[in-house]
A and B are shown apart, each in its own frame.
Chain A
Amino acid sequence: MKRFEWANPTSVAEAIDLLRSAPPFEDPDEAARPIAGGQDLLTTMKEYIQRPSRLVNLKNIRGLNRIEGDGRKGLRIGALVTLSQIEEHPEIKRHFPGLAEAAHSIASPQIRNLGTVGGNLCQRPRCWYYRLEEAVCLKKGGTQCFAASGENKYNAILGGGPSYIVHPSDLAPMLVALGASVTIAGPDGNRTVPLEKFFTLPSEGSIRRENILRHDEIITEIEVPASRFAARSTYLKFKERASFDFALASVAAALELSEDRTVRQARLVLGGVAPTPWRVPKAESFLTGKPITAENVAEAAKIALEGARPLAHNAYKIPLTQALIRRALHRLAEMNA
């Protein structure tokens, strides 16, 4: 990897200052970067895909590695909380089971011990053209998305263009489904935005980024509100290699059921199929007021994938995602929440 400065701030303000004061850059991949677990950042640095002039180590900042709250008050999750902390947290397992499942589905125990919530949400794309140093694609300042007409079996079927990456985070779809918001610290203070608005499509934000975070900002906290559907939540992830893999497709789902077992509220967010976590409001509202039956579930799954535009090699993701949606909804209906 390219040489870089290592900075060790002990406060958020100092970290922001170190990010802002880093040497000027022409290419966003050369900007200073915050580092926590480093599980994604270091892999891109080793391939010279990201070449930051300075790494700002967040691990010495106190207070960002705690999970606070419970099922009644909601959760406040510090950005440095590790994925293992989430999957093992008793309150999360009990009151936000989908979140624990999503954390558990990620990579390997070793990576979950180091990887953080903030880092997981800010992962760079896994598209193999992006990860290949020799391919200067749109995401790296080039002029074409090689995946669009290339080997695209893992790429987007929804929301793609001009880049067809899929968002790699497993936490993101689940947190979006749970209505989470994210607190961002920057030179002008803090701002809190719904997580759903944090991620950007290639057609809307900068093609070089996947979210609204500026180079001198960091995530400090995730807030997951208490809700009537959090306890009936689940995350289903389909991996080609069960042992360790990113999602070919995933479904984050949550339901509030009425006493008559009809759906009062539904949340359905897809992962692994679009450049952002992909919420499907039409399918959610279709389910509202209806019982979870095989027919309704199948119809919701159909509606959820209505806008899909597969590329040459990824049409299989449509039936695959539909199957996951059906299973997730049946599973939620059977849960004791």
Chain B
Amino acid sequence: MTQQMPQQQTPPTKRKKRIRVPRVENGIETMVEIEVDDEGGPSWGPNGAHKLLNHRLTRVDGPAKVTGAALYTYDRRAPGMLYGRILRSPYAHARVVRIDTSEAQRIPGVRAIVSLTDPEVSGSTRERIVRFVGDPIAAVAAITPEIAEDAIRAIKVEYDVLPHVVRAEDALAEDAPKIFPEGNFAEKERRGDPNAVEAELAKCDVVIEAEYRTPIHHHACLETHGHMVDYRGGESAIIYASTQGTFTIPDDAAKELGLPSSAVTAIVEHMGGGFGSKFGIGIEGKLACQLAKRAKAPVKLMLTRKDEFLMAGNGPGSWQKFKAGVNRDGTLVALRATQYQLGGLGDGSLAGQPYIYRAQHVYRERIAVYTNEDASRAMRAPGHPQASFAIESLMDELAYKLGMDPVEFRKKNLRDPVYHRQLDRGAREIGWERRPKQPGTGRGMGCAVGTWGGGGAPQCKVTVQIARDGAVTVAVGTQDIGTGTRTFTRAIVAEELGLEMKDVTEKIGDSRLGAANASGGSTTAASLAPAVKDAAYNARMQMAQTVAPLLGAKPEELQFADGKVIGGGKSLTWRQACAALPPAGITAQGEWKANLAASGVHGVCFAEVEVDMETGHVRPIKMVHVQDVGLPLNRLAIESQLIGGMIQSLSMALLEGRVMDSRLGAQLNPTFNDYKIAGTFEMPEMIPIIDDEDTREAVIGVGEPAHIPGGSAIANAVFNACGVRVRELPITPDKILRGLAELRERRAS
């Protein structure tokens, strides 16, 4: 991915266009079509000229969240509601021979049991084969969660246990048990000529062979996956969903409930994190719907924390093998890469190597390797943090071997000048010149680079309404997955109409409102913000038509600023202006405009760490992330995104990773005690820097790029601090102590 040039804006012309505006004649409101100057549609204008956007706006839903008033799916209750629980397979691979629910049925308080061996539930007449520990088998709805929990344990399942495999190396072995009839791996990409690359490698001044691994990660959403299915039989249903896509719910749920999609409403008022794992209703939503249908009562089925670890998808692992050659001057000449994507039953994902860097001769193969683990899902920057860790570690190793400054070595192999300026900026902020030239002092610095797309598309329909009493509402069915969607939606409308944040109300998270895209790939802001801007702009144009005659001005001369409508040397307060509107007020629609969004970002991260040379403990001291974002809709929210990305990155580098037992085929750390996530004591000083030298007047999403280079920067800083290159994440004290012991042995011999 490379940077796109700033979008050309349509130059202002005096062309005419026809728009529909409300008119009151004889007390009757009608819409009439009039001709106005075509201003060329909305544009953001210079990034430095905003009243609200590009400022630090506090989150509009903050007070509701910190006081507990915000309603999440977990909080939803309905009269007579039942609680659902899922029975999961204790085996990594087995045929379900028989299932006996009679004892569970007899437990008082149990209202419905559904089994995935039932073709009506599973939609398949084939025998049920479970393929990972945690694979769902059946579900129970009962009057309390405890009764449901007891009931799933009272279900008797007879299994025919089959051999399993949970390690990539084992899955690739010739005699490995087959996970799918087609085999245990699938080639995803093969590019370049391996022989030509080998020939070039033979001519290089320095050649390094190394392999790097990252474990499977977890999204670890604070709110687990789940739904409250408010359905008692009848012709319509409401699904409260913890989802990244309001509009991914109704179709799925309607199918299970046997209703038309239009009869199903999805509500996503607040949701507790998705990170790529929450699209569609999933197996848990399917089971919840089936239970509600049978019990004729609302069912809340939220996954338990253990369910969440075992069956709610994972961020795939990786195993990447390199042979790389450079010349003395620091040019990366040739790279041979084998990239295994480790996504359990899923394909996983990896950005192709050498990722952002240039190499003259590249051969790469990407292969998905399957194991008896749940299928991978998208996870914040799919395939990028893993690709980054491997290539940035390799680049660092090459730089040290050449005796080159790692920043200079990177610049030598990056063509895009944006990376150069960001590397310079990051180096300045962290104090790169203080970096020890010889590793082993116990303190060190590292850096890494990343990229992402983050563009938008025409997917959102936004409505802005202005009432005669001055109330302004913006409505769209989108969801705020914690990224600040509500806040920027309100800010765009307020700014366009010259109002303050408090003057606008936003309605989101409801599938009865205008369509919106699911929040994936950092596309929400870039898809939604232009449509909001367009709707607000159209509302302003309509309002100008109505108000201009009152001021004796032309509509196009009006200014909307500071809560006033100004023109013809006079002004009206917002309320006065609105009072002149027809009874129904103004309703304006907005759609995506290509000139208001862009895609393609760059980011760099620098980290400084301290390594305790006796205990192997790594303490991050400081991190700096420099990120271009186009037009920063809300600086505070973007800084929070960058800080959140740095936290997730250092957590990935130092702590996180699924641990499997190969004999049991089971995950050993499906808890927040053993799946360790960074807490407050792990937090370094974190400096988020919005790269304002990016002058694109267009919106780009930055949820994902914030999580790409940070982990690699930490890993490289660890090497600079202690001289141990840990090539498998997470970088835990045991690995550092082992590495330090090896270093001592090598020195002694």
Contact = CB atoms under 8 A, between A and B. Distances in A.
A and B: bona fide binding partners: yes
A146 B664 CA distance: 9
A240 to B, nearest CB: 6
Interface string A149-180: 01101000000000000000000000000000
A3 B150 contact: yes
B193 interface: no
B732 A151 contact: no
Interface string B145-183: 010011001000000000000000000000000000000
Interface in A89-137: 126, 128-129, 131-135
Given A240-B676, A248-B733, A319-B614, A132 B146 contact: no
Contact of A129 (B614, B655, B668, B738): B668
B671 interface: yes
B556 interface: no
B90 interface: yes
B21 interface: no
A323 B734 CA distance: 13
Nearest to B735: A316
B663 A324 contact: no
B146 A1 contact: yes
B614 A243 contact: no
B737 A316 contact: yes
Given A1-B149, A238-B617, A316 B669 contact: no
A151 B664 CA distance: 11
Given A316-B734, A319-B614, A320-B733, A242 B668 contact: no
B615 A240 contact: no
B679 A243 contact: yes
A302 to B, nearest CB: 14
A128 B674 contact: yes
A62 B8 CA distance: 78
B678 interface: yes
B680 interface: yes
B664 A135 contact: yes
B655 A241 contact: yes
B659 A151 contact: yes
Interface string A304-337: 0000000001111001100110110000000000
Contacts of B153: 48
Interface in B13-30: none
B196 interface: no
Q: What does DSSP make chain A's interface, helix, strand, loop or mixed? A: loop
Nearest to B612: A323
Contact of B679 (A131, A153, A244): A244
Interface in B652-676: 655, 659, 661, 663-664, 666, 668-671, 673-674, 676
Contacts of B679: 241-244
A238 B615 contact: yes
A60 B677 CA distance: 37
A240 B681 contact: no
A320 B615 contact: yes
A321 B663 CA distance: 30
B682 interface: yes
B681 A242 contact: yes
Contacts of B375: none
B332 interface: no
Contacts of A315: 738
Interface residues of B, number: 37
B741 interface: yes
B616 interface: yes
A131 B306 CA distance: 12
Contacts of B674: 128, 131
B317 to A, nearest CB: 16
Most chain A beta carbons < 10 A, residue from B146, B670, B673: B673
Interface string B50-94: 000000000000000000000000000000000000000010000
A128 B669 contact: yes
A128 B617 CA distance: 22
B217 to A, nearest CB: 15
B133 interface: yes
Contacts of B661: 129, 135, 146, 150-151
B682 A241 contact: yes
Interface in B438-484: none
A248 B737 CA distance: 13
Contacts of A316: 616, 733-734, 737-738
A47 B310 CA distance: 14
Interface of B: 90, 133, 146, 149-150, 153, 306, 614-617, 619, 655, 659, 661, 663-664, 666, 668-671, 673-674, 676-682, 732-734, 737-738, 741
Please list the 7 inter-chain residue pairs (A to B) with the smallest Cβ-Cβ separation, ordered nearest first: A243-B679, A323-B614, A242-B681, A316-B734, A243-B681, A316-B737, A128-B668
Given A131-B671, A240-B733, 7 more contacts: A2-B150, A129-B661, A134-B666, A238-B733, A241-B679, A242-B682, A320-B733
26 contacts: A3-B150, A126-B673, A128-B674, A131-B671, A132-B664, A134-B133, A135-B664, A135-B666, A146-B664, A150-B663, A151-B659, A153-B734, A238-B615, A238-B733, A240-B733, A241-B655, A241-B682, A242-B679, A243-B680, A244-B679, A316-B734, A320-B614, A320-B616, A320-B733, A320-B737, A327-B614
